[in-house]
Amino acid sequence: MTRQLLMRRAMWCGVALTAACGGEQASTGKNAGGGDAARTALVAKIDSIVSAPITAGKVVGASIAVVKGRDTIAVRGFGKANLELNVPTPARATYEIGSVTKQFTGAAIMQLVEQGKISLDDDLQKYVSFDTKGRKISIRRLLDHTSGIKGYTEMPEFGTIVASRLPRDTLLKLVTKQPFDFEPGDEQIYNNSAFFLAGLVIEKVSGQTYEEYVQKNLFDKAGMTDAHYCSEVTVHMNKATGYDSDSAGPTVKGALSHRWPYAAGSLCSSAIDLVAWNEALHQKGTILGASAYQEFITPGALNDGTTLGYSKGLAVYNRLGHRALHHGGGINGFLSENLYFPDDSLSVVVLYNTAGPGSPDAAAEAIAEAVLGKAPDGAKAAEGDLARFAGTYTGSRARAAHRAADLCGWGRAHGQVWESDGLGAHANVRRRQHVRARVHALHLRRA
C-alpha cells in the first residue's frame, strides 16, 4: 500500500467513524421544529435537490449549508467524500472553492482601501512591475474584469501552465507578452490574470503573503476554522477528494499546483465556513466598515457608463424578486456556489467534489426558491422585458462564451447566461434571458 493511500486512510479515519455512528451528519438547527410539517417538507425538498445529481451519477459527494438569519435550516453532507475508501461526506468536509476565492481577494483590497493604504483608482504599476503598454490600469479595473489584460486561461500556453509548477514571476512574464483584449474600461471579460495581480498588490501593500493575509484578516476574523489556502502537498483533515465525471464514470483528478490559481482561485473551505464568511462580511460588519462595504458591493461601470452586473469579486443581481450576491467556482475536481440574499440574511452554499455535468448554482437557486418561494409576478415580468435583447454576438462576447463552453462556465457576467453553439475562437453565442450573473471559473479539464 502506498504511503499516500495510508495518509488518506489516516486522514479519513475519524470521519469514517463519525459517519458510521451518525450517518451523513445532518443538522437542522435549534429552530428546525421537528414537529412542524412545513419545516419537515422543506428539509426533505432540500435533500431531494442535492441528492438528485448524486443518484444520477453526476456528482460523487456534496456538502450544503442553508442558514436564514439565526435559523440553521440544513447543514449536511451527501454521497461520498472519497469513493476509493468508501467515506461518506461529512457536513464539514472541505473543498477547493475555485473562484469563490475572488470575493476574499476583493474584500482584502477593500480593507487596505479602508485603512488608507491604497486607492481603487491607483495605477497598478504603483505596486506591481507589469508592462501595461502605456495604459493606466486602476486597481478598480482589476476587480471588475474590465482591465483588458489577457487572462492566462485564454493563452495558448495555458495547458503547460496547468501541468507545471511555474513560478509566479514566470507566469506574469507570459501574461505581459500578450496583447490587450481591449482598452481598460471599454469592455468586460472575465479575467483570472486580473485577480492574480490583485493578490500581488495585497502582498506588496500589506507586507504579508496572500495566504498569511487572508488567514489573519479574513478567515480568523470571520471565525472560519476549516478554511485555508489550498495545497497539493499538505494533508488537511476532512478534505474531500476531487473527481471528474463523464460517461465512463468518476475518475480521481490529479493534484493541481496552487501557485497559479492563487488569488483568483486557490482557497479551500467547508460549506458552513462560507456561511460564517457571509455573516461576517454582509451582516456583522466584521470584515469591512459600512462605507467600504457599500463600495465593495456596488457594481462597476464601463467607460460609456454601462453598469456591470459584477462588483469586486461578487456578481450582483435579482433572483426570485430578491436582491442577491453570489459567486460560483470550479477547479480540478470541484464545483462550488456561494449564494447570499442580503435582505433576507439567507445563505445557500452548495459544494461538489465532482467537476462534470452537476450544477451547484442550479441546486443553490432551487434551494433558495424552496426557502423564499417563487418570484412574484412583477419580478417575472421584469425578466420578460429582456426579450428585446435576444440576438447573436461575436467578438469579445463570443470569447467570453467560448471560455464558458471550453472551461465549463467561465466568463458569465453582465446578468445573462451565455450559451455557446460550439467550441473555438469563432463560436457564436445566444444570450438567454435571465436577470442572472453566473460566474464560474478555474474549472480545468486536463488531459
What's the rounded Cα separation, in Å, for the pair 421 and 166?
A: 34
Residue 235 or residue 445, greater confidence? 235
Whether residue 108 lies inside any domain: the answer is yes
Whether residue 438 lies inside any domain: the answer is no
Residue 423 or residue 58, greater confidence? 58
Whether residue 442 lies inside any domain: the answer is no
Number of domains within the chain: 1
CATH of the domain at 329: 3.40.710.10
What phi and psi values does residue 289 have, to the nearest 5 degrees? -70, 170
pLDDT tens for residues 86-129? 999 999 999 999 999 999 999 999 999 999 999 999 999 999 99
What's the rounded Cα separation, in Å, for the pair 261 and 267?
A: 9
Indicate if the pLDDT at residue 432 is higher than 80: no
How many CB atoms lie under 10 A from the CB of residue 233? 7
C-alpha cell at 189: 471579460
What's the rounded Cα separation, in Å, for the pair 105 and 102?
A: 5
Whether residue 447 lies inside any domain: the answer is no
N-terminal to C-terminal alpha carbon distance within the chain: 26
Is the full-model pTM beyond 0.85?
Answer: no
C-alpha cell at 419: 450559451
pLDDT tens for residues 27-68? 554 444 445 899 999 999 999 999 999 999 999 999 999 999
Whether residue 65 lies inside any domain: the answer is yes
| Nearest to 331, CA basis, from 415, 240, 419 | 240
B/e letters for 367-395, b = 16+ CB within 10 Å, e = fewer, are bbbbbbeebeeebeeeeeeeeeeeeeeee
pLDDT tens for residues 244-255? 987 778 888 877
Whether residue 389 lies inside any domain: the answer is yes
C-alpha cell at 320: 426570485
For all residues of the chain together, what is the average pLDDT? 81
Whether residue 440 lies inside any domain: the answer is no
Q: Which residue(s) pair with 336 in the sheet? A: 329, 351
pLDDT at 300: 94
pLDDT tens for residues 344-386? 999 999 999 999 899 999 999 999 999 999 877 655 544 433 3
* Residue 48 CB contacts under 8 Å (≥ 6 apart), including other chains: none
The residue range of the domain holding 280 is 3-432
What's the rounded Cα separation, in Å, for the pair 314 and 101?
A: 10
pLDDT at 397: 37
pLDDT tens for residues 205-232? 999 999 999 999 999 999 999 999 998 8
Residue-by-residue DSSP string for 20-80: HHHTT--B--TT--TT-HHHHHHHHHHHHHHHHHHHTTS-SEEEEEEEETTEEEEEEEEEE
Are residues 239 and 94 in contact, defined by beta-carbon separation less than 8 angstroms? yes
C-alpha cell at 154: 485564454
Whether residue 73 lies inside any domain: the answer is yes
What's the rounded Cα separation, in Å, for the pair 98 and 96?
A: 6
Say which DSSP state 90 is in.
P
CA 327 from chain centre, in angstroms, equals 5
Element housing 430 (H / E): strand 429-432
pLDDT tens for residues 156-189? 878 777 777 778 888 888 899 999 999 999 999 9
| Nearest to 49, CA basis, from 328, 368, 330 | 368
Say which DSSP state 94 is in.
B
pLDDT at 298: 97
